Amino acid sequence: MSTDETLPLFLRACFNQPTERTPVWLMRQAGRYMAEYRAIRKDVDFWGLCKSPELCREVTLQPIDAFGMDAAIIFSDLLVPLPPMGAEVTFGKGMGPVIEPRIDTPADVDRLIHPDVPATMGYVADAVRATVAALPADVPLIGFAGAPFTLAGYLIEGQGSKTWMKTKAFLHAHPEAADKLFTLLTDVVIELLNMQIDAGARAVQIFDSWVGALDPEDYRRWGLRYTKRIVDGVRRPGVPVIVFAKGTGTYLDIVAECGADVLGVDWTLPLDRARALVGPNVALQGNLDPGRLLGPWDALEPAIDRLLDSAGDGTGHIFNLGHGIDRTTDPAQVKRLVDHVRTASAKRRG
Amino acid sequence: MSTDETLPLFLRACFNQPTERTPVWLMRQAGRYMAEYRAIRKDVDFWGLCKSPELCREVTLQPIDAFGMDAAIIFSDLLVPLPPMGAEVTFGKGMGPVIEPRIDTPADVDRLIHPDVPATMGYVADAVRATVAALPADVPLIGFAGAPFTLAGYLIEGQGSKTWMKTKAFLHAHPEAADKLFTLLTDVVIELLNMQIDAGARAVQIFDSWVGALDPEDYRRWGLRYTKRIVDGVRRPGVPVIVFAKGTGTYLDIVAECGADVLGVDWTLPLDRARALVGPNVALQGNLDPGRLLGPWDALEPAIDRLLDSAGDGTGHIFNLGHGIDRTTDPAQVKRLVDHVRTASAKRRG
């Protein structure tokens, strides 16, 4: 593997090139655990924040300024595509999203719209442009979108779910309508991600947050098939594609068939086991349990060290959590974590 | 491996002995998906049902009479130990359980009571006795209890959770108080399971439904340690112990260290991969996705066949789901499933 030293550290790690230390960023690193974020959110509702490029830039930069992560991720939401497709999304106080009308029958799929992505979601591109202009040159911006299973799950359940049983019932009872729905979502997600790349995103992440509810056979049919199309549909030289299919650690080798440059891994699968499953040619991103940040530093530090040890010589590892930061996390823990990953991983290389 | 042909089929499979076909039972096989169950529940609330040995016997027998499973499981609830310990449990309409007062601080652990198990939970033993007397001799009754992590999770969150973040925060911030809590729960669970064995249960299952929220290191500390104590504390000749730690497929080899006779497996880990992780000396129970029962038979039947194929020659396999039957399941699908497992697995042996 050759190294392109003109590339930022994060991108070199995404392309599985040797690095002088392990890059680190954290899912949901811009969010409620930061007082600076809460200060902005008190004057604007969630959609208002998502739709303001200036405020998105501001909150996206907050953790970079405070903690110095090696990558930023544009502040936005997985559910951005749903309202333009004809499904309103509201966030109640202390509740997850509610989607109306939900998809209950094949006829409901036919009523969904293929939206004009730049016209209806252009605010995401504006936010990317504003943020890229303000970020340090060595901190790439990650664009993102949800994967079809996760988006379809919200559309079919009308909300989040522990079991996604309505979704599974729909897939099994109406496979043709489900394929039509997943194909539409695939096309929209490809456009949404390409728009972000065109606006300056230097990597993209596809979040399939709930696809781990499927068995391996159903994952092939309802996860991998569309994820692979998305990976192919957004591929550009120099822009790595990260696929995070949470909860699929028992069949990460199947997920790897999507062709992503980087696979997200949650904390249930140690990185050495992940590496054994997927081989040497893909980078791995993860995989600390965000729950560990809620404990004291003297328990967190050895957990970080174990994680770095589980990544072999550290090549092709991007340090992250296995899910978003919890809103009750002490920002001081985040600061210590980022600093420790930098110094401890550099020491391991030396 | 020798075969004791006087033992019921289910028990022989639990002890990893050759069987003429694969035994089958389904978690939550007595429940809302059956009209016969709903007819009883309309006149009695959930706790009223749990505390009536006659009604427990009746609903426990309903699926055996209707579908002919190879084992029955006593109708009861994981949360039975909590009220006698000082935490009331209520079930709202269409909601999960609510536990009050919840455990928020180490001092709250000190307020918990070590209850007199026969005096406060004797209704479970009465239900076991009544049910055993009514069951066919070749259908063993399974007793059960929740594992400490799962019970502690409800106590600390005050309800179910997707992430169990409050629970993790408590474990990491207050490990001594957590150990005291888990030790108390371990002792109570051992007594509750032994009481069921004394009353006639011929196998016991320990449900650790939510422990898969932990990473492997935390599983060793907060799952395995206490589960192993329970396995040791209920071991009797001829009474197999089943441990179902849902969501732990990426580290099932660690779960196996608890010494259970049978390990439950959820649908994310194919049985051949499970076998490779745990070796030949433990039986495996599972692992169909209950979501598959919501689809048409022509999709369900090949999934059952694939599952039987993944169990090698079928020795040491007990057919089950990877979680409880969904309440929207068509009972006709359950009938077909049980019949098909019987005939298709017998054909494979021949």
Q: Is the pLDDT of residue B32 over 60?
A: yes
Collect all residues from B whose CB is shorter than 8 A from any CB in A.
Answer: 160, 162-165, 168-169, 171-173, 212-218, 247-251, 267-270, 273, 289-292, 294-296, 299, 303, 306, 323, 326, 328
Looking only at the bridges linking them, the beta strands covering B262-264 and A317-321 are unpaired
Q: Are A8 and A140 in contact (CB under 8 A)?
A: yes
Nearest-by-CA chain B residue for A325: B165
Q: Is the pLDDT of residue A3 over 70?
A: no
What confidence score (pLDDT) does residue A1 get? Answer: 45
State mean pLDDT over B161-184. Answer: 97
Comparing C-alpha atoms, which of B264, B258, B262, B145 is closest to residue B193?
B145
Q: Is the pLDDT of residue A2 over 90?
A: no
pLDDT digits (tens, 9 = 90+) for A75-104: 999 999 999 999 999 987 767 899 999 999
Amino acid identity of residue B243, one-letter, is V
The 10 Å Cβ neighbour count of residue A140 is 26
pLDDT digits (tens, 9 = 90+) for A9-28: 999 999 999 999 999 999 99
Q: Which residues in chain B have Cβ-Cβ distances shorter than 8 Å to A251?
A: 268, 270
State mean pLDDT over A195-200. Answer: 98
Q: What is the pTM of this model?
A: 0.96
Mapped onto helix, strand or coil, the DSSP state of residue B91 is: strand
Q: Is the pLDDT of residue B99 over 80?
A: yes
The CA distances from residue A328 to A77, A162, A325, A331, B178, in Å, are 20, 21, 8, 9, 20
Q: Which residues in chain A have Cβ-Cβ distances shorter than 8 Å to B299?
A: 172
What confidence score (pLDDT) does residue B4 get? Answer: 67
What confidence score (pLDDT) does residue A4 get? Answer: 67
Task: For residue B51, give how far its alpha carbon lies from the nearest alpha carbon of chain A (Å).
Answer: 28
pLDDT digits (tens, 9 = 90+) for A224-240: 999 999 999 999 999 99
State mean pLDDT over B70-76. Answer: 98
pLDDT digits (tens, 9 = 90+) for A144-190: 999 999 999 999 999 999 999 999 999 999 999 999 999 999 999 99
CA A21: distance to chain centroid?
22
Q: Are B253 and B277 in contact (CB under 8 A)?
A: yes
B interface mutation test: which of A28, A162, A179, A250 has the most B CBs within 10 A?
Answer: A250
- Give dist(CA A55, CA A130) in Å, integer: 10
Q: Is the pLDDT of residue B2 over 60?
A: no
What confidence score (pLDDT) does residue B3 get? Answer: 61
User: What mean pLDDT is reported for chain B?
Assistant: 96
Q: Are B339 and B345 in contact (CB under 8 A)?
A: no
- Give dist(CA A153, CA A97) in Å, integer: 12
- Give dist(CA B144, CA B285) in Å, integer: 15
State mean pLDDT over B266-284. Answer: 98
Query: ipTM of the predicted structure?
Result: 0.95
Say if residue B350 is exposed, middle or buried (CB neighbours under 10 Å; 0-12, 13-18, 19+): exposed
Q: Is the pLDDT of residue B103 over 90?
A: yes
CA A225: distance to chain centroid?
19
What confidence score (pLDDT) does residue A74 get? Answer: 98
pLDDT digits (tens, 9 = 90+) for A300-350: 999 999 999 999 999 999 999 999 999 999 999 999 999 999 999 999 997
> B295 vs A172: CB contact, 8 Å cut-off?
yes
Place of tokens 């032994």: B194
Q: Is the pLDDT of residue A245 over 70?
A: yes
State mean pLDDT over B169-194. Answer: 98
Percentage of the residues of chain A whose pLDDT score is greater than 90:
96
> B294 vs A216: CB contact, 8 Å cut-off?
no
Which residue in the set B214, B218, B291 is minimally distant from A165, CB to CB? B291
Which residue in the set A215, A269, A294 is minimally distant from B250, CB to CB? A269
Return all residues near B257 (Cβ < 8 A) that are at least 6 apart: B224, B228
Which CATH number does A9-349 carry? 3.20.20.210
Q: Which residues in chain B have Cβ-Cβ distances shorter than 8 Å to A216?
A: 268, 270
The CA distances from residue A178 to A62, A185, B94, in Å, are 39, 10, 27
Q: Which residues of B are annotated as catalytic?
A: 28, 32, 41, 77, 154
> B163 vs A323: CB contact, 8 Å cut-off?
yes
Q: Is the pLDDT of residue B1 over 50?
A: no
> B212 vs A268: CB contact, 8 Å cut-off?
yes
- Give dist(CA B155, CA A321) in Å, integer: 26
Which residue in the set A173, A215, A303 is minimally distant from B267, CB to CB? A215
What confidence score (pLDDT) does residue A289 get? Answer: 98
